[in-house]
Amino acid sequence: MKRSIKCQNCGTWNVLTGEKNQRCSNCGEVLKDEMQERLNKLSEIRKEQLDKWMFTIKEDDNAFTKFFKKTGNILYLIFISIIAFISWLLAILPA
Ligand SMILES: [Zn+2]
């Protein structure tokens, strides 16, 4: 499906070609694809959150930190599994 984008400068509707920094066919203004920008922002936020996640292993972490974070990740996975198991038990058990 083709999407159209309105030029913020002159108001002309342009069919999005998908190329980066597409320009308005009428005035040549760079068209801002708001949906694409939103998606970019979203993936940036996701990246940021991953950076903030304390168990994300970074290249410059020392061996101990890496070990600690790996252990943390495993413990977290076990924790999540237990929660999932308990909620599954609660779901199948007769009330
Ligand atoms: Zn324009």
Helix (H) or strand (E) holding 47: helix 34-52
pLDDT attached to residue 53? 76
Question: What's the predicted TM-score (pTM) here?
Answer: 0.39
The pLDDT tens digits of the residues spanning 62-90 come to 998 889 888 988 999 999 999 999 999 88
Ligand 1 centre from 13 Cα, in Å?
8
Quote the ligand 1 centre to 57 CA distance (angstroms).
46
Q: Where are the domains of the chain?
A: 1-52, 54-95
CA of 52 to the centre of ligand 1 (A): 40
Give the dihedral sign, CA 61/66/72/73. positive
Show the tokens assigned to 13. 């509707």
